Amino acid sequence: MSPYPESRNVILLFVLASLPLFFSAHVEDPEAVVADVMRSIENTTTEAQRRQLSEYHCLTGNPIDDCWRCDPNWMKNRKRLADCGLGFGRKAIGGRNGEFYLVNTSRDDDDYRNPRPGTLRYGLRQKKPLWIIFKRNMSFKLKRHLVIESDKTIDGRGVTVRISDGPCLVIRFANNIIIHGLHIYNCKKRLVDGDGIQIFRGSNIWVDHNYMSNCEDGLIDAVFGSTAITISNNYFTHHDHTILLGHNDNFTMDKKMQVTVAFNHFGKGLIQRMPRCRFGYFHVVNNDYTRWEMYAIGGSAGATINSQGNKFVAPNHIFHKQVTMRPNTPKSVWKHWNWLSSGDEFHNGAYFVESGSKSSSIYAKAWSLKPKLSSLVGRLTKEAGVLKCQKGSPCWVRL
């Protein structure tokens, strides 16, 4: 997906692809990261079960949420969130090492090159770490997309923040970003593709507890060498091309892509790409798939997909019940790809077509750990989406 006008797409994309990264995106041992995720889920659920009858009734077993949500003083301790990441995007600390920046107006600034202080655009354009919060409930209908610079947290907790009916969020050649607690929907194509969140050559990105639906292109696209990403606790609904991870089958720079997709709710009106993967390594764990029209998890170009402890419920009204799809690829090719399912739960005839081998060394560490049973997915994803956080109370009710 290109973030540039059609007339310049081909030239600019090839030029950008040839440039060296100005930030370091370390490729990690994928199974060590997966094993750490599984241990965190196991340990947190055990603690939640032990204390579920105590005053810590907000514990859910979701290791991200249980890290910070029980604190009634979460508003004073907002930056605690930065210590709670999991998976490949866990190193994203956003603006933890910077000042708080207060957005006090939802007015879109026509002068996008020199936006006014107090606007969201101004905060996102700063070349320093910032933890961005909002003065009150706000709705943004943008004329131009918002470009997010490195070392930023967008924290929508405690208010209702909507970005809709115009171009939305773009991460371009940036790293270390947290996007939390936003309603993002009806995003339009103007100069850039109509994605809710477009990640173009980004790394250390964490997208957590957002509501996303009905955009002109993807809800989340991560392309052109993006990596070290976690997509967690989001509520996705009413959309066709949900999550794209990888530019195209010829763009080999995406071989380094590593993404964790965890604790999300994939709901009504979704067609495909939950996610759609290319080349890299993708850990899809403890998500709730309540339905899909074409497929849930798909991919090509030899992507490695590790599906663990998900719950797949195929809708009753469709004949195609397969969870997986490998578009335009003969079986003689895809049978060697490592697409494996462990601890997943299937309903209404849903089924996962595996390929590759569980004896492959790429799975050696993670497969020694049993995934948390999919029967717990309802509990782990119960409050996926934007949370209703109120001052002086634990932040534990979903809007």
d(CA 195, CA 239): 11
Decide if 287 contacts 266 (C-beta within 8 A). yes
* CATH classification at residue 304: 2.160.20.10
d(CA 124, CA 138): 16
* Phi, psi of 11, deg, nearest 5: -65, -50
* Phi, psi of 228, deg, nearest 5: 55, 60
Indicate the average pLDDT of the chain: 87
Give a yes or no: residue 168 inside a domain: yes
pLDDT score at 58 = 75
Q: For 293-306, how does the pLDDT look when each residue is reduced to its tens digit (9 = 90+)?
A: 999 999 999 999 99
Give a yes or no: residue 22 inside a domain: no
Question: How does residue 114 score in pLDDT terms, banded at 50, 70 and 90?
Answer: confident
Q: For 58-90, how does the pLDDT look when each residue is reduced to its tens digit (9 = 90+)?
A: 788 899 999 999 899 999 999 999 999 999 999
Question: How does residue 55 score in pLDDT terms, banded at 50, 70 and 90?
Answer: low
Is 273 marked active-site? yes
* Domain count for the chain: 1
Q: For 208-247, how does the pLDDT look when each residue is reduced to its tens digit (9 = 90+)?
A: 999 999 999 999 999 999 999 999 999 999 999 999 999 8
Beta bridge partners of 283: 260, 306
Question: How does residue 22 score in pLDDT terms, banded at 50, 70 and 90?
Answer: very low
Give a yes or no: residue 395 inside a domain: no
Identified catalytic residue from 78, 162, 201, 273: 273
Q: For 335-383, how does the pLDDT look when each residue is reduced to its tens digit (9 = 90+)?
A: 999 999 988 999 999 999 999 976 555 554 544 555 556 678 988 898 9
Both ends of the chain: CA-CA distance in Å? Answer: 31
Give a yes or no: residue 125 inside a domain: yes
Q: Which of 103-117, 259-273, 302-316 has the lowest mean pLDDT?
A: 103-117
Give a yes or no: residue 398 inside a domain: no
d(CA 166, CA 186): 7
d(CA 51, CA 390): 23
pLDDT score at 23 = 46
Give a yes or no: residue 2 inside a domain: no
Give a yes or no: residue 15 inside a domain: no
- Residue 49 Cα to chain centre, angstroms: 27
CA atoms 309, 314, 320, 321: torsion sign: positive
**What CA–CA distances, in Å, run from 27 to 20, 150, 174, 222?**
15, 19, 17, 16
Question: How does residue 191 score in pLDDT terms, banded at 50, 70 and 90?
Answer: confident
pLDDT score at 363 = 53
d(CA 120, CA 159): 15
- The fraction of the chain above a pLDDT of 70, given in percent, is 85
For residue 258, the enclosing domain spans 30-388
Give a yes or no: residue 4 inside a domain: no
Q: Which residue has the higher pLDDT, 387 or 21?
A: 387
